[in-house]
Amino acid sequence: MPRIIRNEQIVDDNWQVLTLAEGETPASVALPAEPVLLPLSVWLARRDEVVAAHRQLGVWLDSDQGPEELADDIDRLAVIGVNFPKFTDGRSYSTARLLRERYRYTGEIRALGDVLQDQLFYMRRCGIDAFALRADKDIEQALAGLRTFSDSYQAAVDQPQPFFRRRGAQEAA
């Protein structure tokens, strides 16, 4: 079974990620058995059908798709995937933060795509708590990427207080 990093642990995981192949349309594509992360287009086209058929719901957003698209569905989604087509495409960092901080999403946010050790720290700070590491990379080694820095200057999902609000206390300790 595939393995992912979830909550800083390596775990088995059986979620599939559906992508539309050439010629397939959101309306016609065959839905795999659950659990499955659906492309946004499939979710929007066949929401009622999916909700009726699946107990656990999951959708993934590509880097050019915003969290606004899921505003009405947030509470029923168990997993939201955020895709990194290339690791240098940073849009999904904003998506993840918005899902957590603006839409108050509390389920799993999973990084998909070009997910590499050296970006895990920033991803985690933005509220991503599950990582489907790129298949050719060593997932055990990648775990270290979650702990690159012992602190951070900015407020983010993992630490809502910027360092300047904590600095005095820290230095006094």
Q: Where does this chain touch other proteins (CB under 8 A) — which range of 18-26, 30-38, 42-50, 159-167?
A: 159-167
Q: Are 126 and 96 in contact (CB under 8 A)?
A: yes
Q: Indicate the residue among 76 and 102 with the shorter CB distance to other proteins.
A: 102
Q: Backbone phi, then psi, for 168, in 5-degree steps? A: -55, -50
Q: Which long-range contacts (CB under 8 A, 24 or more apart) does 27-31 make?
A: none
The binder of other proteins chosen from 80, 97, 112, 115 (CB under 8 A): 97
161 touching other proteins, by CB under 8 A: yes
Q: Kindly give, in sequence order, each residue whose CB lies less than 8 Å from that of residue 16, ignoring residues fewer than 6 positions away.
A: 32, 35, 36, 37
CA torsion, ordered 90, 145, 129, 21, to nearest 10 deg:
50
C-beta neighbour count of 89 within 10 angstroms: 15
Q: Indicate the residue among 35 and 66 with the shorter CB distance to other proteins.
A: 66
The binder of other proteins chosen from 11, 25, 49, 153 (CB under 8 A): 153
Number of residues that bind other proteins (CB under 8 A): 40
The single-letter code of the amino acid at 166 is R
Q: Please report, as residue ranges, which positions from 52 to 81 form the binding site for other proteins (by CB under 8 A).
A: 66
Q: Where does this chain touch other proteins (CB under 8 A) — which range of 27-35, 43-51, 69-77, 82-90?
A: 82-90
2 touching other proteins, by CB under 8 A: no
Smallest CA-to-CA distance from 151 within 134, 135, 133, 169 is with 169
Binding mask 111-130 for other proteins (x = CB under 8 A): -----x-xx-xxx-xx----
Bridge-based pairing of strands 36-39 and 58-61 is parallel
94 touching other proteins, by CB under 8 A: yes
Residues that bind other proteins (CB under 8 A): 66, 87-91, 93-94, 97, 102, 116, 118-119, 121-123, 125-126, 138, 141, 144, 148-156, 160-165, 167-168, 170-171
